[in-house]
Every structure is written in C-alpha cells, then in structure tokens.
Amino acid sequence: MFGWAAAMREPADEYREAWTQGTSRAIDALHNSGWLAGGVAQATAQMVGPMMALNARPDPTLLGGAFPASQWARGVEKRFSAWARNPYSCDLTARQNLGQLCAQAVKGWFGTGEIAGLVRYRKREGNTHGTKIQLIPSSRIPQQAKAPNTHQGVLLDRDGYPTAYAIENYDPTKPGLIEEKVVQARDRWGRLVVIHVHDSPATVVRGLTVMMPVLQVLRQYDQLTNATLTAALVQALFAATVQSDAPTDEVLKMLQTEDEQTEQITSGGFDAFMAARAEWYASTKIDLGQAGKIVHMFPNEKLSFLRSEHPNENFKPAAKLLLLEIARCLGITYEQLTGDREGATYSSERMGGGENWLLISERRQNVPARLMQIAYESWLEEDIELGGTPFPGGIDGFYANRDRACLADWRGPPKPTADDLKTSKANETKLKNRIITREMWCAEEGVDWEDVDDQLLQEQENGPRIGLNPPPAPTPQPGRPQGGGGGAISEGEEGDEDEDKDERNGNR
C-alpha cells in the first residue's frame, strides 16, 4: 500500500480528464477485439432486442370518462408502432427503424458512455408525422468547445441544468465542412431538442464508457495470447537440438542430405568431391525419404526432437480469468461471452443469468428505454396536435399534463432461461398462488398480454371456420390434486429435484 498514492477529486473532473483517451481506447478495442465486439452485441441484444415494445400506461384519472384508459393506450401503441417501424417516418436519414436506431445507440453507449442525438421535424411526402430522430456521434459535442461558459460542450445554468449544447454540425453535402453551433436543449414549448442520455454520478455532465475498468485487462489478454502464440511459433521453427562435442560444421553436415553435401563439397574441386563420395559409400545409410530421414550419429551424440510447450496448462485458467472480468463489466456471463460451457450446469446457468438479468434490466430502463421514451413523447405530442389521438383539452391539455399522459413501460427481450420447462412450472405455481399476474408473466416473456388475448380470441373464432376442432380438455388423473393446490409437487418435479442433486454432485 506504500506506493498507492490515490487522489480525491470531483467526479466531474475525473470524467473530464478521462473522457477523450478512455473513449478513444474503448472504441479502438471494440473495432479490434472479437471478444469485446461479440460481448457488446450479446449485451445489446439482451437489452434491446429487435424493437422495444411500448406499454402505454397513462393516468386513468387524467382521461376521465371520455376515453377508457386501456382503449386509449391500445390505440396509441398501434399508431406509435406503425411510425416506429418505418425508417422513412422515424429516421431523419430514412435508413433505420426506431429499433435499429436504439440498438446502434446502445452499442455506441458501450463505447462512449452516452447517447447523443437530435429530435428534428422534417415532413416528407407520404409521411403522416414530421417528427424524426437523428443520432449523432458523442464526439460531435466537443470537450473543448468554442462557445464560452461550457462544461465539456454543455451549457449549464446555476442549478446544473443543461440549457444548451455546443454541437459540431457536419454537412454531408459538403465533406470536410464542420461548424460548431449552439443548440438549445428544449424549444419554447418545452419539447426536447437535444438527446443526451448517460448514467453518470451527480454533478457529471457527460458519460463515460462502462468498459473503462477493463481496458487494461483487454490489453493484458492480447499480450497473453500474442506471447503464447509467438512462443509456440518459435518452438515450431526450432524443434530439434543436437548434443555433441564435435564442431558445429561437422554436426550440421550430419543433418544434411546427399544433395546438400554434394553441393557444398563440389565447390572444393573434383578430388574433394571423390573423397567425400568414397567416405559416403563407406558408411551405413538408411533413407526413408526427406520427411522420414534417419541420421546415424557418432557415438555419445544425441539428436532430440522437441514438442511445443505452448499453450501450456496455465494458459487457459489465466485467459479465463481475464475474460471473466470483461464479461462481468459487460453485464453478461462468461458462457455468453465465449460460448464455452465446459463444467456449466442448469443451476449455474440459471444463477448466472438471474444475477446478470438484474443488471440488464437496470441498464435497459436507464439507457435504451430513455431514448425510446424521448421518441414516444415527441411523437405523441405531434399526434395529439394532428388529431390522431384524442385527448381532453387537445394539445393545450397535453402540455398541462405531459408527465401523466406519457407514462409508459418498455418491454425488451425475455429473461433467458436454462430450462424453459422448469421455468414454466415455477411461473404456473406462482400464478395459481396469485404471486404474479398474467401481465407480469407475459412481460417476462417479452410480449403484451392484451396482444396474446387478442390473438387467442382470433384463433378461437377462426378455428371452426376452417374446420379445426378445439383441443381436448385435459383428463383429470385419479389421486392428483386439482386446481391451485399451492405447495403440492406434481409428477416430474420430484425427478427434477433429483436431477439438480445429480448436477451438484457431479454425477451427470
């Protein structure tokens, strides 16, 4: 501890000093490390999936009796989904839908620690809405802005509230032309203009990559693998040694083929060649071809062939330890990062996925869900103003009650499970004992319970029309409890417990 001279500084100062170098290193690692790129892609897929689904939950008292809250929410969800799934409608560049924009933003967040963008209005032919989302690289907000009184490119008021941003405007029609502009964070109606999402400590105005603690570990892993590979190649090039007291030239001559010795001796003249030829025929020689040549050494001389000692038995534990730290920082398991499931069991997979799921859920709500919420609020405001979504008091009523009107949840991919059958049995027991609801179960599966009900009703009505009989009801088994007998163990569950015991005892 004697040489550990740590300094106490403001978090804002630490982030400001580390942002440029830390971000550039993280981006470089993402571009050049297969493990890291794959891990970020895996974590992004768990956080976002193809498209985060909107679950509108407006305050029912806000709508009064004019509009049933559930009916109003269902209509909003369908209209928003139509806008979000069309790149021509939601993306300023008309290249990606909102799900793709969100996934790209999250991947950028792993590299920079923040999401930057703009909410633009651009009405196009064939568009019902002019609201557009534009993502920009975080580096467009300069650390050393030309605008006065900025903190890492952000203008703050006395409360620390960001009022404006210095943004380097890049004109795609004029390559190389970059002009810094000051953009107000919100317009005069309070609508958000600048998107800046980050999860940072208090007083910090910019984000910082979550991979900062493992940047050194990434370098250590590269050094370990490079050194191991180099050692293996060196040993492959020098794979034989000769122990002899004879001069080096004589030893090397023993290892030469007939043609090689002839070529070397020919330069000494005809007499030297004939003497060498006579000496050659006087000795014993066994030739099995170039690859299988047997050389007879002089007495007390030994030819040893070596095998590569790299990678040795210490390589895999050391490499695994480094990859474990990287996986932990990314919020995924070692198995998800590497695909290596040696020694993994159902219990270990479930425990690892359950622990990381809490982190995935927290990051989902604080990073991609915030971007989706910004897009949703901006779209909903325009949709109410256009008359697409009814609202008490119209657009003025929405401005007066924006927070309660925009309440929403965002659903992503379902929680990963190691055994779907066991998970389903557990949820079934919880549902019977009223510990969870169907909405909670469907949310865990990444679907909307109302969508499930609508689809079930459609299939039920469509079955008789096409001649499908309804599935037969399950036949009650004698001696088995019916209904929701909470703590009873059904058939098969006892075997599952035995299976878990076998896994713990290492008998599988």
3-state SS, 402-415, equals HHHHCCEEEECCCC
Give the position of tokens 């006087």: 282
Series of mean pLDDT values for 10-residue runs along the chain (508 residues): 84 90 93 92 91 90 79 93 96 95 96 95 93 94 89 92 90 73 91 93 91 91 87 68 70 69 62 64 52 54 63 82 91 88 78 82 94 96 94 92 93 77 83 84 76 79 74 52 40 43 43
* Conformation bin of residue 387: beta by default, left when phi > 0, alpha when psi is -120 to 50: left
Cβ-count burial 82-109 (b if 16+ within 10 Å, e if not): ebbebeebbbbeeebbbbbbbbebbbbb
- What region, left, alpha or beta, does residue 203 occupy, with left being phi > 0 and alpha being psi -120 to 50 degrees? left
- The full DSSP string for 371-389 is HHHHHHHHHHHHHHHHTSS
359 close to 331: Cβ distance less than 8 angstroms: yes
CA distances from 40 to 96, 210, 335, 425 (A): 20, 11, 14, 32
Tokens in use for 243?
């122990």
Closest CA to 76 of 400, 379, 393: 379
3-class DSSP state of 59: coil
Beta-strand relationship, 240-243 and 194-198: unpaired
pLDDT at 141: 93
Residue 506: the pLDDT is 44
Could you tell me which residues are beta bridge partners of residue 408?
Answer: 56
Give the model's pLDDT for residue 195: 96
User: Smallest Cα–Cα separation from 256: which of 236, 275, 242, 270?
Assistant: 242
- How far apart CA 363 and CA 493 sit, in angstroms, is 34
User: What is the Cα–Cα distance from 74 to 67, expressed in whole angstroms?
Assistant: 11
User: DSSP string spanning 281-326?
Assistant: HHS--B---STT-B-PPPTT-EEEE-----S-TTHHHHHHHHHHHH
For 136, the 3-state DSSP assignment is: strand
**pLDDT value at position 135?**
96
Predicted local confidence at residue 502, as pLDDT? 45
pLDDT at 78: 93
Reported residue count of the chain is: 508
Give the pLDDT confidence score for residue 299 in this predicted structure. Answer: 58
Percentages helix, strand, coil for the chain, rounded to the nearest 5?
50, 10, 40
pLDDT of residue 492: 40
- DSSP-assigned letter for residue 123: -
b/e code 372-404 from CB counts within 10 Å (16+ = b): bbbbbbbbbbbbbbeebbebeeeeeebbebeee
Q: What is the pLDDT of residue 241?
A: 63
Query: How is the chain split into domains, by residue range?
Result: 11-211+361-410, 240-305, 419-466
What is the pLDDT, as a whole number, of residue 413?
85
State the pTM of this model: 0.73
Residue-level pLDDT at 2:
84
Q: Are 79 and 383 in contact (CB under 8 A)?
A: yes
Q: What is the pLDDT of residue 412?
A: 86
DSSP label at residue 475: P
